[in-house]
């Protein structure tokens, strides 16, 4: 079974992304307006608007056709397609969409090169954006798809990457929040608190949510 939460797999980080992310390429065949139109649908879908999921997936697939070598576009397309799996009632369709979404994310990761480590117009290197989108998706799909280990590794890669320190605060806060939630799931409260306290200390946009989680852990 595919959990309904798969429909909202991006919700832990998408608000941070909306604060700091845009088209993560320095030279693009598509305009920032085209990207933002697709991204706005992705934000809606990630926040739980099931009516926006198909539109988000189609929008990013259309952009991939225009710029097939852009790993960021492949990453968002893959994540949106994976969300379609969580929104389907047909078991065979769920599996097909999930596999298609994961394949698109694999493609995004394979397209990464040293060029994607360079600062981009939004301040977030493409390598971090792609790996974080993939990590969230891999960690959200069912266990039998065997992606959790890779998702955890990708999240660790983002956390350890030296470029994270210069990424927008909203993005960093999203990464730390995801890391805290994963640590909590793994029964590592000290690690979870460390990331949550970092969010609060840095006054990231996710500070209120981090404070609420810290308060809950203290009960």
18 pLDDT higher than 70: no
- Total-model pTM: 0.87
pLDDT of residue 3: 45
Rounded Cα distance, 209 and 207, in Å: 5
**Structure tokens, 146:** 């065997």
What residue segments make up the domains of the chain, in order of their start?
A: 4-167, 168-219
Query: How would you classify residue 31: left for phi > 0, otherwise alpha for psi between -120 and 50, otherwise beta?
Result: beta
Give the residue-averaged pLDDT of 95-112: 95
Instruction: For the chain, state the CA radius of gyration.
Output: 16
pLDDT digits (tens, 9 = 90+) for 174-195: 999 999 999 999 999 999 999 9
Whole-number Å distance between alpha carbons of 181 and 114: 30
Tokens representing residue 180 in the block: 């805290």
Of 3.40.50, 3.30.70, 1.20.120, 1.25.40, which CATH number belongs to 4-167? 1.25.40
Tens digits of residue pLDDT in 59-97: 999 999 999 999 999 999 999 999 998 877 788 888 899
Measured between alpha carbons, how far is residue 153 from residues 73, 75, 149, 158, 169 in Å?
21, 17, 6, 9, 22
68 token code pair: 């097939």
């Amino acid at each position: 079974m595919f959990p309904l939460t798969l429909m909202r797999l991006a919700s832990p980080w998408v608000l941070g992304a909306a604060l700091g992310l845009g088209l993560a390429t320095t030279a693009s065949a598509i305009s920032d307006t085209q990207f933002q139109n697709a991204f706005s649908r992705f934000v809606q879908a990630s926040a739980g608007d099931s009516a926006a999921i198909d539109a988000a997936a189609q929008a990013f697939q259309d952009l991939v056709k225009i710029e097939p070598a852009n790993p960021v576009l492949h990453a968002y397309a893959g994540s949106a397609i994976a969300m379609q799996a969580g929104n389907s009632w047909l078991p065979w369709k769920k599996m097909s969409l999930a596999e298609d979404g994961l394949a698109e994310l694999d493609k995004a990761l394979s397209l990464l090169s040293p060029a994607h480590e360079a600062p981009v117009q939004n301040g977030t290197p493409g390598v971090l954006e792609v790996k974080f989108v993939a990590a969230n998706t891999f960690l959200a799909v069912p266990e039998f798809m065997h992606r959790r280990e890779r998702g955890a590794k990708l999240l660790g890669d983002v956390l350890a990457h030296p470029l994270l320190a210069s990424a927008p605060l909203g993005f960093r806060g999203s990464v730390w929040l995801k890391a805290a939630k994963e640590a909590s799931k793994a029964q590592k409260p000290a690690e979870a608190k460390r990331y949550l306290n970092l969010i609060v200390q840095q006054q990231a946009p996710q500070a209120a949510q981090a404070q609420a989680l810290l308060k809950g852990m203290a009960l």
